Structure 1
Amino acid sequence: MKHFLLIAFCASTLTAVTPAVADAAQIKRACLASDRAAATRQRCRCIQSVADQVLTRRDQKTVAKWFTDPNQAQEIKMSKSARDDALWERYQAFGQVAQASCS
């Protein structure tokens, strides 16, 4: 019985962790895939580190899309919703910290 409970616990823990691991480093991957000359491995890793500190996983997923479609960022910036305004404020804070830390 103890072994069964341990296996069940481990299985549920792995299931809960797997999606988070799959979502990790979205900003870094988007940075490396961009056509920007300054997108070095070291800089993209630094930017991801800042993103992990400043942005939620959900924010990171959204912001990573902006690397390939900057128009989405403009739409968030111009939006009138409180939710989009809050995301834009977090994104600006992220940008300031990333610029200071990763330049």
Structure 2
Amino acid sequence: MKKSILWAASLAVLSLGVVLPVMSSFASAGPIENACNRSERKAANRQLCACIQQVADMTLKGGDQRRAVAFFKDPEKAHKVWMSKTDSDDAFWERYKAFGAQAQAYCGG
């Protein structure tokens, strides 16, 4: 079940790794944590969503985080960015892929 929420956060990720302590509260949640907590995925829980947000804070700037939030609501948007041929979409996708790999490594257990 955890993989379904991580899939939304990482879509094209293939690797795993280390554990990161979770010290975030819902009151100070970032955009990705909020979207994760509000998602209808069964694997979503506060601890997992907080972990994913911590990774986002380490790997994505605010604008990239806000852009990635849309993928929780509509995974088709991620597909469109992935298929896009623009340099800006390609650069974003590389950052997003790195975020997804880190989130899976830290939070995937």
Name the TM-score, length of structure 1 as normaliser. Answer: 0.75
Counterparts of 2:44 and 2:60 in 1: how far apart (Å)? 20
Unaligned runs of 5+ in 2: 1-28
Larger radius of gyration: 1
Structure 1 residue 64, shift from structure 2 partner: 0.5
Structure 1 residue 56 corresponds to structure 2 residue 64: no
Q: Give distance in 1, aligned partners of 2:99 and 2:38.
A: 20
Normalised TM-score (structure 2): 0.71
Which residue number corresponds to residue 42 of structure 1? 47
Question: What is the RMSD of the two structures over their aligned residues, measured on CA atoms?
Answer: 0.9
Considering fraction of residues, name the structure with more helix: 1
Give ranges in structure 1 of 5+ residues lacking alignment: 1-23
- Amino acid corresponding to residue 57 of structure 1 in structure 2: G
Partner of 2:38: 33
1:80 corresponds to 2:55? no
Larger RCO (alpha carbons 8 Å, 6+ apart): 2
The answer to whether the aligner puts 1:68 opposite 2:107 as a matched pair is: no
What is the CA distance between 1:74 and its match in structure 2?
0.7
Q: What is the number of equivalent residue pairs in this alignment?
A: 80
CA distance in 1, matches of 2:31, 2:61: 11
Matched letter for residue 66 of structure 1: F
Distance 2:39 2:107 in 1: 17
Q: Using the TM superposition, give the Cα deviation of residue 31 of structure 1 relative to its aligned residue in structure 2, in angstroms.
A: 0.3
Question: Is 1:100 aligned to residue 97 of structure 2?
Answer: no
Match for 2:74: what amino acid?
A: D
Offset at residue 87 of structure 1 (A) = 0.5
